[in-house]
Chain A
Amino acid sequence: MFISLLGLSACDSEPPELMKASNKFESDEIRDKHVAYMRTNHMDALKHKRDETMYDGIRTEEHSLNACINCHVPESHNGEVLRHTDQEHFCTTCHTYVAAKLDCFECHVDHPTKLDYELKSAKTSISQKKSILKNMADSNIESMQLKSLDKKELMELAFKHVNNQQSTKPPKSGGVSFKALQNSDLESNSSNKPNQTQKTEELTSE
């Protein structure tokens, strides 16, 4: 009882400073919307997604825990892996503040981990991403008249394109490099906000 009263009295004070995410939103307005939505709904969104993935095999980036981690937790912090047991960890900072138990990381990994084959193709995919992002702003969707293509086809087109560009043929690594590209492009979009002008500096810093 006493503790909960303490908690109430703390509500007026400012929430703790959280670690910066690695990707940036197009505008502050979009970012603020994302922050506001996630502050109140992240647990429901994650839980909904968790059941969709477990039972239906739906593995989109939206509300995927791995996507959250990849953006919100740095690959290394002061030269070391940042774990959920550290106070600076994005999730831990806030969960400690509100005294809510954090259960995800009993099983899920708490920091970004590149799979081996992703590491191999990481370099090409970054240069790829850069050129793509530069061109992204110029593209004119309507003139292409491809509205009838569904998402799967679009992915395949992009997949093919990346393969051609890299001239490394194995379809698997091509697919993965595309996957990596898709990851970093869409993470910041996962809160329903499109983003076409992602900063290239973010990507080169990898």
Chain B
Amino acid sequence: MNNFDSYRRNFLSIVGITAGAAASVTLAPNLLLREAQAKPDDEAVTDAKRWGLLINVDKLEDGGDACIAACKKEHGWGDDPKSNQAQDAQWVRKVKVTEKLTGHSFSLPVMCQHCETAPCVDVCPTGASMKRADGIVQVNKHICIGCRYCMMACPYKARSFVHETLVDQRPNSPRGKGTVESCNLCVHRIDKGENPACVDSSPDAIVFGDLNDPDSTISKELEQNGGSQIRADLGLNTGVRYQGI
């Protein structure tokens, strides 16, 4: 409660600098409309929402290079000095697909698909590989023992193992030797009401939103034009969907 009071006092003071009290009160309702997505910092996430991505491969002109670069910048992976190429972390990668019979070819970014029933969550002996109530699949590195069973189980090869000691991690994206990691849908940004970094890097091609809300942009788009899952045969009901594959 003390904290709450201190927040209140400080923020009210800020408001008090220029505007009068009455003016502030009238301002408030407009503001609420603008920032509808942000959840209060101290409120727990619930399963009312299920976050998802819709990637339109046709509109993604570079095949995903921009969003991969944005992800690297946000999370600081991809340049671990001692690991060789096969050992270096890869949260998202550009996969080129060429159909054998027709020769039809396209490129798409592949990362953690945030499955509803994730194989990595099932196999993890400690529960470090976890799905948050709002559908985000991530690794709780505090209890990850580094057994790599989740890497064996993931059908998308979305997980990487950190093979060496790291320094200068991003403050919002802790990474460390001996633990497994993967795309967490920029969970720290989502909790602040922002979009994942990849979405901001390619706003025309990637839509982020709540799959449980029938009125969200992503749900409407999916309802109208559909979206496929990679390896839909596994029935994992992924949170990441693609158009144009």
Contacts and interface: CB of A to CB of B under 8 A. Distances in A.
Q: Do chains A and B touch in the complex (CB under 8 A)?
A: yes
* Chain A binding surface SS class: helix
A170 to B, nearest CB: 12
Contacts, number: 169
Contact of B171 (A109, A136, A194): A109
B114 interface: no
B130 A154 contact: no
B31 A156 contact: yes
Contacts of A172: 194
A109 B168 CA distance: 5
Given A154-B11, A194-B5, A115 B171 contact: yes
B143 to A, nearest CB: 9
Interface in B32-86: 32, 34-35, 38-45, 73
Given A109-B171, A113-B168, A172-B194, A139 B35 contact: no
A54 B45 CA distance: 10
B10 A54 contact: no
A59 B191 contact: yes
Interface residues of A, number: 63
Nearest to B25: A146
Contacts of A156: 28, 31-32, 34-35
B3 A58 contact: no
B35 to A, nearest CB: 6
Nearest to A148: B25
Contacts of B19: 161
B17 A131 contact: yes
Interface in A173-202: 179, 185-186, 189-190, 192-196
A11 interface: no
Contacts of B167: 83, 109-110
B9 interface: yes
B13 A139 contact: yes
Contact of A113 (B35, B171, B175): B171
Interface of B: 2-19, 21, 24-25, 27-28, 31-32, 34-35, 38-45, 73, 130, 132-134, 138, 140-142, 165-172, 174-179, 187-188, 190-192, 194
17 contacts: A57-B44, A57-B45, A57-B191, A58-B43, A107-B166, A109-B169, A113-B171, A146-B25, A151-B8, A154-B11, A156-B28, A157-B24, A157-B31, A158-B15, A186-B7, A186-B10, A189-B3
